[in-house]
Structure 1
Amino acid sequence: MSSSALHEPTFLILAALAEGRKHGYGLIAEAETLSDGRVTLRVATLYTALDRLRKEGLISPAGEEIIDGRLRRYYELTDNGAATLAQEIARMEQLAARATVRLAHRPGFAFGWSSGAWA
């Protein structure tokens, strides 16, 4: 596990793999879904990150199959990857809690969560 913050693409890749194995295109689609369309991983970015995450032991290969004549390589989160993701989630939650307290003290600022959207 790392004590430094994860870059957003790395966080999204690990989060996408938290529910189970996925192939490259599935990871790109899931990262876009997780970020509400704000982040679209480029293919080169994805495969560079996957190679790095594999070398760091955060993900591992999880099989291959040929679909419509194209090879799909699947990846899955390792236990170390899951622990790293959990650590990053906790770090982000702590930062958000601290920022929320400070923002709540801002005069004239209405702040809160209502019906699935920030007020």
Structure 2
Amino acid sequence: MTERMQEPTLLVLTALADSPRHGYAIMQEVQELSGGRVNLRTGTLYGALDRLVRQGLITTCAQEIVHGRARRTYALTPEGRDALAAEARRLRVTLHAVTDRLATPASHATVGTFA
């Protein structure tokens, strides 16, 4: 995965980076990681999980029946860990550039001035 990750994908992979989780736990973790900004709906989450499984970034590592329904537990694959690490590096470079630019005083202010 060489293109920029969408935020929900980044958050789902991050939620799985430290331990496997089932769907509801992933939804809770994404909400916490995003400071409450991202609330994945059930259909959106499971669509994303299916896509990430097809892409080889996550895998189903366990399945159990809870209250008559299948509960799958998902884990990051080595490829998923590599993709997440690559995205973290990309974000770090971008953050560094932004921080540097904001710390450097503008040489000539043009706020509100258009030629």
What interval of TM-score do these two structures reach, taking the shorter chain for normalisation?
0.7 to 0.9
Show CA shifts across 1:32-75 (max 9, x none).
01011111111111111111110110001111112344321111
- Which blocks of at least 5 consecutive residues in structure 2 are unaligned? 107-115
**Structure 1 equivalent of residue 72 of structure 2:** 73
Output the amino acid matched with 2:78.
Answer: D
TM-aligned CA deviation for residue 15 of structure 1: 0.3
Counterpart check, 1:91 vs 2:95: no
66-75 vs 95-104, which moves further: 66-75
State the secondary structure of the residue aligned to 1:71.
strand
Match for residue 24 of structure 1? 23
SS of residue matched to 1:66: strand
Amino acid at match of 1:59: I
SS at match of 1:95: helix
Aligned to 2:36: 37
| Structure of larger gyration radius | 2
Q: Distance in 2 between matches of 1:15 and 1:32?
A: 12
Percent identity between matched residues is 45
SS in 1 for 2:11: helix
- How far 1:8 moved relative to its partner? 0.4
**Partner Cα separation in structure 2 for residue 83 and residue 10 of structure 1:** 14
Runs of 4+ in 1 over 6 A off after TM superposition: none
Query: What residue ranges of structure 1 are gaps of 5+ in the alignment?
Result: 108-119
